[in-house]
Every structure is written in C-alpha cells, then in structure tokens.
C-alpha cells in the first residue's frame, strides 16, 4: 500500500523541482507517444491510400489555415504560462484571457474564409480549408487551457485529453478513409474529433479546476496583449517560415510536391517529440525559477545541454536512414521525399537548440528580441522561397527552411549571450557537444552495418539509440564527468 501511495504521490503531486519535472515529463511523454503514434499511423495510411497528390491538397489547405488561425493565439499561450506560473493568484485573469481568445478567434475565422477565395480556385480545397480552420481553432482553444494546467504543473489532465483527442481523430479518420474515403470527409472528421475533445476538456476544467464564465476585463486584455505582442508576432512569423513554403507551392500548382514535402516534414516532427516533451516540462519550472538567479542558471544550462545531446544523433541518424525511412513509411511513390527529408532533419536538430534559446528569452522578458529574430527569419525565408521553389520545388523549400534556421540560431545564441545572464557556451555545454560527437561515431558505424545487412528499420533505430546512450554514458564515466548531480 505504501508503494502505491508513493507512486501516486510521485506522479500526481508537486514536491521538488526535480520531482515535478520528472512527473510532468512522464505524463507528457505518455500522452505524446500515444497521441503522436496514433496520428502518425493515420497520416501514413492516408498518404498511402489517397496518394501524394490528394495528400498534397490536404497539406496545402492545412498549411494555409495554420498560417491564419495562429493570429488568434497572438502569444497569449506562452505569456499565460509564464505569468500564471509566477503567480498562482491570478486565476481570475485567466477567464478574461479565454474571453479575449474567443473574440480573436471569431475575427480570424472570418479572415480565413475571405482569404481562402484568394489562394485557390478549387472549390474542393476551399471546403477542406473551412473544415480545417475550425479544427485548428478548437485545437488552439485546447492549447490555451493547457497553459493554465502547465502553469500549475498539472500535466496529467493535459495528458488525458491529448490521448482522448488523438484516439478520436485516429478512429474517425480510419473510419472515413475506409468507408467514405475523401480528403473532404477526412477534414470534417478532424473537426468533429477536436470539437468533442474540447468539450470534454472544458467540462473537466470547469468542474475540477476553475468555473468558466465570460469576463470582459479590458485592463487585463491590455496588460496581457502588451506583454504578448512580441511573442504573438514571433508565433505568426515562425508559422510563416514553417508553412509558407507549402502554401506557395500549392498556389503555384505544385500540389504533388506539397504532398512529398509534407510527408518528409511529418517524419521530422516525429523525431522531435522528445525535444517537445522536454520543452513543455521545463518551461513552467524555469518560469517559476526565473526570480532565483542560481536556480535559473542551472535549469537553463541543463535545458541547453539536453538540446545539444539530442540534436546531433537525430540529425546524423536521419540523414543515413532517410531512404529506408521513406520506403518503410510511405512506399515508392514518395521517394522524391528522401532528399528533402535529409535536409529537413538537419533543420530539426537546429530547431531543438532554437527552441531552448527562445524559451529562455521569453521567460526572462526579452520577448522583443524574439520578435525581431522571427521577423528577420520570416523575411529571409519568403525571399529564399521565391528564389528557390520555382527552380527546385520541394528541395528549394527544404534548403530555404534550413538556411533560415541557421541564421536564426546565430541570432538566438547572440541574443541569449548578450541580453541575459545565461552563458550558452560554457564548460558543461562544450563537454556535452564533445561527448555527443564522439558517441555518434559508434552509432553511425552500427547504423551503416545494420542497414547494409537489411535489418528492419525499427530495430536499427532502437539499437542505434542504445549504442549512442551507452557510448555517451561510458565516455562520461571514463572522463569522470558529472555535468549535474541534481537539479
């Protein structure tokens, strides 16, 4: 009985920083693995059944809608997590934020409908856009509720709803593709699933955490919008440089290429799940520690170290395994995705580092720096896309995205070093980089050997991961390195 109570306390209570991060990481890992696995299995099945062209139409519609619906967030999610983590007595202000979010969403939905008439003349694609805009709007509301739960570091509720949401999307999606196959019906299925998940989350939130009601508090809106606008524009700009390539290819009639490109992007997204989980676990803890210099420095240092430790093996393994991955997941029709994936997986590794610096700057009230970096990145990306996509299609889009991320990483590193007390390059980060590079060598050898002997791709990934982690541990012990004994 004591053991059960201890496990329950470990997974449900917030005691120490380390235990809370472990607890949150457990719940987020569980939910992300289940939800992403289910959704990814659906995407694979859909892509194989409907083909690259139809999948391209769906991806084009989703990319366009994502670029506009993000306006309804306007940085409120990030800022809400930060502010409510610092002060738990502000919960009444959250009701005002929900009301503001609703008003922004209504405005954005109207703009999305109007915009859909300008980007495509295909009525079928336009109806897909309309269904998906509500799907993303509901998802955005769900994410806002998550920000409050994260500020209280109660990720178990988020995990529950995420799993439910992914089960609904996957179940309805498979039913649609099997019984009434079309991308129009698939988009409607996504909408219904998210609507049900949002209603369930609102019920739990209203009954267990905070009674929901409309609250029109102009002073609260003004305060949060003033804090959030740099992050809001950052979110808009970052969505532009991740989605504009698909929109531009679709607008120029390269629909099949959009399908190939997004197929590669989906795999990159899956590889970044561990980094996303860590980010979600650390963000509220770092926000809470932002007023304690030593604790803040230690947590930020640890956050950067983990990003470096993950970025190198993910990028290297992805480049080597690209042909096998694309063939295993999508089949021969998607072979043009291979080179795009090899470029994008490097971008994915850089993105892990960028996200770490981005969070540190936001937590330390340097949102304006984030704004300018994102603006510059969006401008560079659009210029590169206009230059490269007409000539090189999806490969030009991939190169544009990678080059944009390299420039942004440089600016993020410089801003973090110059405008905060955090030192991105120090003894611990350098040692982590050295260990990661050395540990990647036996991983690379094992991948090459297993690939040449036609070993199953899943087994190769598992063995390579074990070899990398074991090598890193052995090197650390050999050199008697202890980056941190405790957090």
Domain ranges of the chain: 14-425
Q: What is the pLDDT of residues 203-219, one digit of tens each?
A: 877 777 777 777 787 88
Q: Which residue's structure tokens are 């659009």?
A: 382
Mean pLDDT score across all residues of the chain: 83
Q: What gap in Å lies between CA 460 and CA 450, rounded to an integer?
A: 6
Helices (H) and strands (E) counted in the chain, each on its own, are: 15, 0
Phi then psi for residue 253, to 5 deg, are 85, 10
Per-residue pLDDT, 485: 42
Answer yes or no: are the C-beta atoms of 283 and 357 closer than 8 Å.
no
Q: What gap in Å lies between CA 317 and CA 336, rounded to an integer?
A: 19
Answer yes or no: are the C-beta atoms of 360 and 303 closer than 8 Å.
yes
Per-residue pLDDT, 190: 87
Q: What gap in Å lies between CA 271 and CA 265, rounded to an integer?
A: 10
Answer yes or no: are the C-beta atoms of 417 and 424 closer than 8 Å.
yes
Per-residue pLDDT, 159: 76
Residues in the chain, pLDDT under 70: 1-25, 78, 81-82, 85-91, 150-156, 279-293, 479-487
The model carries a pTM of: 0.80
Q: What gap in Å lies between CA 255 and CA 247, rounded to an integer?
A: 10
Phi then psi for residue 311, to 5 deg, are -65, -45
Q: Is the dihedral of CA 200, 193, 239, 26 positive or negative?
A: positive
């Amino acid at each position: 009985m004591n053991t059960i109570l201890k496990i329950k306390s470990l997974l449900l209570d917030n005691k120490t920083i380390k235990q809370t991060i472990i607890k949150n990481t457990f719940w987020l890992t569980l939910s992300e693995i289940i939800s992403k696995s289910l959704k990814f299995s659906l995407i694979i099945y859909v892509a194989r059944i409907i083909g690259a062209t139809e999948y391209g139409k769906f991806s084009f519609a989703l990319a366009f809608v994502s670029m506009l619906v993000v306006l309804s967030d306007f940085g409120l999610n990030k800022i809400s997590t930060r502010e409510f983590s610092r002060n738990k007595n502000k919960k009444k202000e959250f009701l005002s934020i929900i009301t503001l979010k609703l008003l922004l969403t209504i405005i954005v939905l109207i703009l999305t409908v109007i915009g859909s008439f300008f980007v495509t003349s295909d009525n079928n694609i336009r109806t897909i856009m309309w269904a998906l805009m509500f799907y993303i709007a509901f998802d955005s509301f769900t994410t806002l509720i998550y920000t409050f739960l994260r500020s209280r570091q109660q990720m178990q509720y988020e995990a529950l709803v995420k799993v439910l949401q992914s089960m609904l999307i996957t179940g309805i999606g498979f039913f649609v593709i099997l019984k009434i196959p079309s991308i129009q019906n698939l988009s409607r299925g996504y909408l219904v699933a998210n609507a049900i998940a949002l209603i369930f989350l609102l019920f739990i939130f209203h009954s267990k955490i905070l009674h929901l009601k409309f609250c029109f508090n102009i002073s609260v809106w003004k305060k949060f919008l003033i804090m959030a606008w740099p992050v809001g524009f950052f979110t808009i700009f970052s969505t532009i440089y991740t989605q504009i390539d698909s929109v531009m290819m679709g607008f120029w009639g390269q629909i099949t290429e959009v399908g190939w490109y997004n197929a590669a992007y989906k795999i990159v997204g899956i590889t970044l799940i561990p980094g996303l989980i860590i980010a979600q676990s650390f963000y509220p803890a770092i926000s809470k520690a932002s007023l304690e210099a030593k604790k803040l420095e230690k947590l930020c240092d640890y956050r950067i170290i983990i990003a470096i430790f993950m970025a190198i093996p993910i990028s290297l393994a992805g480049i080597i395994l690209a042909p096998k991955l694309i063939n295993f997941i999508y089949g021969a029709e998607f072979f043009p995705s291979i080179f795009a994936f090899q470029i994008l997986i490097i971008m994915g590794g850089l993105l892990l580092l960028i996200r770490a610096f981005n969070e540190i700057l936001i937590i330390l009230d340097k949102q304006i720096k984030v704004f300018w970096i994102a603006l510059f990145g969006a401008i560079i990306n659009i210029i590169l896309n206009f230059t490269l996509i007409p000539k090189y299609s999806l490969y030009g889009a991939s190169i544009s995205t990678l080059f944009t991320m390299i420039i942004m990483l440089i600016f993020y590193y410089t801003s973090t070093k110059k405008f905060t007390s955090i030192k991105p390059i120090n003894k611990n980060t350098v040692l982590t980089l050295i260990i990661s590079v050395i540990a990647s060598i036996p991983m690379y050898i094992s991948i090459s050997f297993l690939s040449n002997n036609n070993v199953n791709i899943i087994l190769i990934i598992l063995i390579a991961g074990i070899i990398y982690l074991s090598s890193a541990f052995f090197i650390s012990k050999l050199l008697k390195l202890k980056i941190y004994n405790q957090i």
